[in-house]
Amino acid sequence: MSLSLSARVFLERAEAFHRSAELLGDDPPDRLYAPAVGLLAVHSSISMTDALLIQFDTGRSKSEDHATAAQALEKLCSAKGHDKSGVKHLRELIRNKTRFSYGEALVRDEEFKKAKLRMEQFFKWAYQTFPVVAQTEEEADAQPV
Question: One digit per residue, pLDDT tens: the chain, 145 residues?
Answer: 788 899 999 999 999 999 999 988 777 667 778 888 999 999 999 999 999 999 997 766 666 778 899 999 999 999 999 999 999 999 999 999 988 888 888 888 889 899 999 999 999 999 999 999 887 555 544 444 3
Global pTM value: 0.88
> What is the residue extent of each domain of the chain?
5-142
Enclosing H/E stretch for 9: helix 5-24
**CATH code of the domain occupying 5-142:** 1.20.120.330
Q: Which helix (H) or strand (E) holds 29?
A: none
Q: Which residues contact 62 (CB under 8 A, 6 or more apart)?
A: none
> What local confidence, expressed as pLDDT, does residue 105 receive?
86
Q: What pLDDT is recorded for position 144? A: 45
- List, in order, residues 6 or more apart from 104 with CB less than 8 Å away: none
d(CA 118, CA 122) in angstroms, rounded, equals 6
Question: What is the torsional sign of CA 42, 88, 129, 84?
Answer: negative
Q: What is d(CA 65, CA 12) in angstroms, rounded to the nearest whole number?
A: 22
